[in-house]
Amino acid sequence: MLEPGRVVLKIAGREAGKYAVIVDTVKDNFVLITGPKSITGVKRRKCNIDHIEPTEHKFDVKQDVDDSSLENIWKSSGLIEKLEIKVPIKREFKKKEPVEKKKK
């Protein structure tokens, strides 16, 4: 059930409630997951299998797939809208003008 390509939901930690994809199995109790961060907000990291919940969705990917390929798969699958994933918006900030100091 926890094979590479399986979409999972994180249920513990600071990324709880966010979706990720299993990339590789590390040991008996650990898997390597990634969002990728630009889509779901989950960085590539090792995760205990007790902290994730598998979903019925699965991508057809090879082990240790890179984040850019996964990003394209997420966009083409239509799961972003179906799972109501909020994609972070990249904003451009204006440069602040230097503040003039008051003379005494």
Sequence ranges of the domains in the chain: 6-82
Query: Taking the model in full, what pTM does it have?
Result: 0.77
In sequence order, the 6+-apart residues with CB closer than 8 A to the CB of 36 are 42, 44, 67, 68, 70, 71, 74
Q: Per CATH, is 6-82 categorized as 2.30.30.30?
A: yes
What pLDDT band is residue 90 in, cutting at 50, 70 and 90?
Answer: low
Residue 55 pLDDT > 80, yes or no?
Answer: yes
Helical residues (DSSP H) of the chain, grouped into ranges: 67-77, 79-82
CA dist., res. 33 & res. 80, Å (int): 17
What pLDDT band is residue 7 in, cutting at 50, 70 and 90?
Answer: very high
